[in-house]
Structure 1
């Protein structure tokens, strides 16, 4: 690790993957004109890539990070850039609705208390408003059931909300091209096949069409595909997380018109959701242990997406979990059909933190992975931090995200496996299962 050297000015840098990490890094490297890097991004599809986690209608933008002060600071730094990007785009891509964060009890739990402590210590106490049950139901009458069910302590952070993530990716893609980043895209010409090495030294990549592309540095930013392309020493696995959409009636839209982004006892239950967007869609998601899809041979989990399995929905057990939780938290959804659902794939690291570091088996290879489902809010700034690691700059981020060997907690790999057997609770459901049983 200590032998890693920064690339020289004028180096050619290949980035594998055109999602959040890859595009943000490409933009940061390309805008540093003093280095005069040639930056080339490879991906198997046009950007935004259909089945990338970053290609979505919404992602949370928050600074509320429990005891992770660095993530909070990176999120706060990103807010200014989100606001700047809104000035650059005709339609806003960042929506400052605020965040409503619940504990599933009558008082805030430890994780939320840590968030409040760090936000206040950073000088932003004026952003925070703690709420008790009566205040919640007065402001959000439709959450009375949640309060009555004990989900009755919360705070509101007026800074934060959500981004239209696919539009944000398009915006950064355009900025990359405007700054001279080259893109090689396509299922043959842009599809990473293998590293090209001379001994331990990575000298480039080979794509599926058989072409070798030489480089002075390779950065692997392939999202949830990373652990199936590269030996990540069991520090990262691909997990499938559940997303559903509803299309509320006009009456329900009016009822929920002041609903911000919400976390419903997120640190324990994992459910979160979004306001109804301009297209009339309300998204609810679950951040949990997720699902695995082990491949034949080595058992490494690989994403199973609607790009290759176009009839996929979500597992039966996920539908049941969503309906049960929303009955407790937001029962107004009981009368709504689930109009769209998908399994969204993350690269889950053992400790939930990013891994951005030289790979220990190679020279000239940086991995940027371990998004663990919480990277998109950092799109404006994550590339700056990754570029500093590429350039071997020591700081708090390079130390926090350094390559490490973490022993997984008990059960880390013991997650449900997606199945197709007719009686399996992890089989993909039909459209009939997605309809409301209340109509």
Structure 2
């Protein structure tokens, strides 16, 4: 289906619903044009406490297997991450991007198809100099905290020296400040900023109504509400909210994690990835998988269930078991560590892991900008520039890839880094009374599986 739309006339008022990565990046990109009145609405203060973008870290990588368009987008975004670091340094602030490198592990001396494709396409793009292939001995010599992983079969890897991680909450604050400086207006709060419904006449959208029942007129509405999007607007089966698992450990001072400097980001099948230990002593590990649903009773749509509304939520017991089993081989040192913190982080999953940025086919004056599928934050500096082109009706490689589309057959699959990729499998329902594995872990469950000696 064509993603073409007439561009908004100069002077148009554009409302963006959502102040996460996509919403703020789009607001900033549109503000650079200096010809629109841009308003952003959200139900909380920035950074939004339960947004996926509000976190201590997110991976920044160009490694995308055969998905070369994402690789090129990251190549375009990396210089902007570095520019933002310069801007922050000039103001005496900490960096938002840390170029630690990223190690992509394979098992049994054979690269995964994903790693092999990533190496191939990165080299063909002219960036072969950032790739360093590592044997098991190389891995242990360079990064001794991976010794257990190597001994348990993760004995081949490559290092992308340009990759790293972003301080995602600080990055959100940084682009928010840039938006404010460019005249973007914000309406934030649980009543005045909380989207309730579209305001429309027939199929023509004239604005939005917020929870305080006030109508806000606009010439164009952009819904960039992340995993909440599918629960706000009827999108059929185009987007689904899935909950993904994040845990933090706090290794003791005697731990190897506390002693190793220059730790990289890492990724290893099946779908696990992690980060260097932070200056606050947090070691974060996460899982990129099919995840979990939280289906509401009214229509069966999966909607985020977060610690903002369910303060005592942790992670499902099934997920904890999966983490402990994997880490017993990859990071056996964690077996004596309690899980210090855990949460369910929500994705807006599209059917093929490409973003969904397109005019709604049945409504006028509205654009959907969502479908992060768990890999949106790294593109914060650049994704809004591409979304702005779509808002203005330009036909681009991105408008075609991210357009309103039918996905079926072999193309209907999640990206190749995700555990449990088959579309024949379905996420489990959180807190399903008929499945004890989906219950939330207790504090006792999160204690170490092996006694500390």
**Normalising by the residue count of structure 2, what TM-score does the alignment of the two structures yield?**
0.93
Aligned to 2:337: 336
Contact 1:4 1:363 in 2 (8 A): no
1:285 & 1:85 partners in 2: Cα distance?
A: 26
| Distance (whole Å) between structure 2 residues aligned to residue 115 and residue 414 of structure 1 | 27
Structure 1 distance, partners of 2:128, 2:446, is 42
In structure 2, runs of 5+ residues without a counterpart are 414-421
2:424, 2:49 → 1: CA distance? 28
Instruction: Work out which of the residue numbers 203, 208, 214 in structure 1 matches 2:206.
Output: 203
The Cα of 1:289 is off from its aligned counterpart by 0.2
| Whole-Å separation in 1 of the counterparts to 2:69 and 2:392 | 20
SS of 1:333's equivalent in the other structure is helix
Q: Corresponding residue for 1:141?
A: 144
* 2:267 pairs with 1:263: yes
Contact 2:4 2:393 in 1 (8 A): no
Q: Deviations over 1:156-211 (max 9, x none)?
A: 01001000100100111111000000000111111101111122221101111111
Whole-angstrom distance in 2 between the partners of 1:157 and 1:3: 37
Partner of 1:93: 96
- The alpha-carbon deviation at position 420 of structure 1 amounts to 6.0
Aligned to 2:273: 272
Partner of residue 362, structure 1: 363
State the alpha-carbon separation in 1 of the partners of residues 108 and 118 from structure 2. Answer: 17
3-state SS of the aligned residue for 1:15?
strand
Q: How do residues 157-168 of structure 1 correspond to structure 2 at under 5 angstroms?
A: 157-168=160-171
CA offsets, 1:343-402, max 9 Å, x none? 000001110110101111111111011100100000000000000000011111111111
| Cα displacement (A) at 1:337 | 1.1
Spell out the pairing of 1:288-299 with structure 2 (5 A cutoff): 288-299=289-300
2:3, 2:399 within 8 Å by CA — same for their partners in 1?
A: no
Structure 1 unaligned blocks of 5 or more: none
Deviation at 1:145, TM superposition (A): 2.3
The answer to whether residue 262 in structure 2 is matched with residue 250 in structure 1 is: no
SS in 1 for 2:186: strand
1:3 Cα deviation (Å)?
A: 6.4
- For residue 429 of structure 1, the aligned residue among 423, 428, 441 is 441
How far, CA to CA, are the matches of 1:413 and 1:230 in structure 2? 25
CA RMSD of aligned residues (A): 1.4
Q: Hey, what's the Cα distance between the residues in 2 that align with 1:251 and 1:148? A: 22
Q: Secondary structure at the match of 1:302?
A: coil
Task: Quickly say closer, same or farther: Cα 1:334–1:355, change in 2 above 3 A.
Answer: same
**Deviation by residue 1:239-272 (Cα, 9 ceiling, x = unmatched):** 000000011112223443332000012xxx0000
Report the 3-state secondary structure (helix = DSSP H, G, I; strand = E; otherwise coil) of the residue aligned with 1:250: coil
1:286 aligns with 2:290: no
Question: How many residues of Structure 1 are paired with residues of Structure 2 in the alignment?
Answer: 434
2:407 matched residue in structure 1: 406
CA contact (8 A) 1:315 1:425 kept: yes
Shift of 1:2: 6.4
Structure 2: distance between partners of 1:110 and 1:233: 33
1:411, distance to aligned residue in structure 2 (A): 4.3
Spell out, residue by residue over 1:9-55, the C-alpha distance to the aligned partner (whole angstroms, 9 max, x if none). Answer: 1100000000000000000001112xx10000000001111100000
TM-score of the pair, normalised by structure 1 = 0.96
Check whether the contact 1:350–1:412 (CA below 8 A) recurs between aligned residues.
Answer: no
